Amino acid sequence: MIDDSKLKPPLGWVMAGTSLRTIGLSMKNADWANTPQYSITEFFTIGRVLNSIPDGDSFLSQIELVKVHERSLEDFQSLGDGSPASQLMKIREVNVDTETISIVMANLHGPFFRMLRGLENVWPISPTNWEKGSGILVTVYGEQPTLRTLAKRSREIMKTNKILFTLSSPKTEFFVEEIPDRRRETVKTAISMGYYEYPRRCTQRDIADRLSLKQATVSEHLQRGEMSIMTSWSDTM
């Protein structure tokens, strides 16, 4: 029997530091329906990933499944390895099985999850789910440089530009941490003083006085900070 008490991130991961963030990757139903893995909805209209741990070249996950009909689980398990649905999920153990719902331990396979497993310091977490008629969402937790790599590679792996990305809030903090301390302080001060509001509530001279800097230095910090943020943001598009 699989010990599901181990389905949690390693301690080192949890303690990895403040650079950990989440990113959500989603596809609307109309777009997901054009991928081979959509065939899993012929058996399970809803799937919710409850927990995951790395396991070989994939992830071992506890998944709650809503059946299309009473024998959906048996029909799915009888599929050959060449089936697109079985390539996405391979059931290792059945924990609960009722007429409408199954809870299973399964390996998440497929190009996307193999790519995800090959990256360091990233982890699929809840909410990760699919629902026929709505679409699919994968939420990934990890270090921000790796999440940026994930965003770039996912569209290449899935061979579509229909993937939507949602960064953890506050979105600016996802990028600001890579800016040098003094520049980051200047940008945050500008935000808190209302420099980016419309109409502006302060000038660069006001920010310079607050930080005891020259106005030219504040101008440079703001321009370089804005460029760093916009460049990092565009890398995920």
- For 173-235, the fitting CATH number among 1.10.10, 3.30.70, 1.10.540, 3.60.21 is 1.10.10
Q: How far is CA 10 from CA 15, 54, 95, 170, 173, in A?
A: 9, 10, 23, 25, 25
Would you state the pLDDT for residue 233?
Answer: 54
Give the pTM: 0.63
Would you state the pLDDT for residue 85?
Answer: 85
Domain ranges of the chain: 19-155, 173-235
Model confidence pLDDT, tens digit, residues 151-207 = 888 888 777 677 887 776 544 444 444 567 788 889 889 999 998 887 889 999 999
- Euclidean distance between CA atoms 23 and 16, whole angstroms: 17
Would you state the pLDDT for residue 179?
Answer: 65
| 187, two tokens | 């940008």
Would you state the pLDDT for residue 48?
Answer: 94
Would you state the pLDDT for residue 73?
Answer: 95
Residue 212 CB burial class (10 angstroms; 0-12, 13-18, ≥19) = exposed
Tell me phi and psi for residue 200, to 5 degrees.
Answer: -65, 140
Query: Can you give the pLDDT of all 237 residues of the chain as single tens digits?
Result: 444 444 444 434 443 444 678 888 898 899 889 888 899 999 999 999 998 888 888 889 999 999 999 999 999 999 987 788 888 899 999 999 999 999 999 998 878 888 998 888 788 888 999 999 999 999 998 887 888 888 888 888 777 677 887 776 544 444 444 567 788 889 889 999 998 887 889 999 999 999 999 999 999 999 888 877 666 555 544
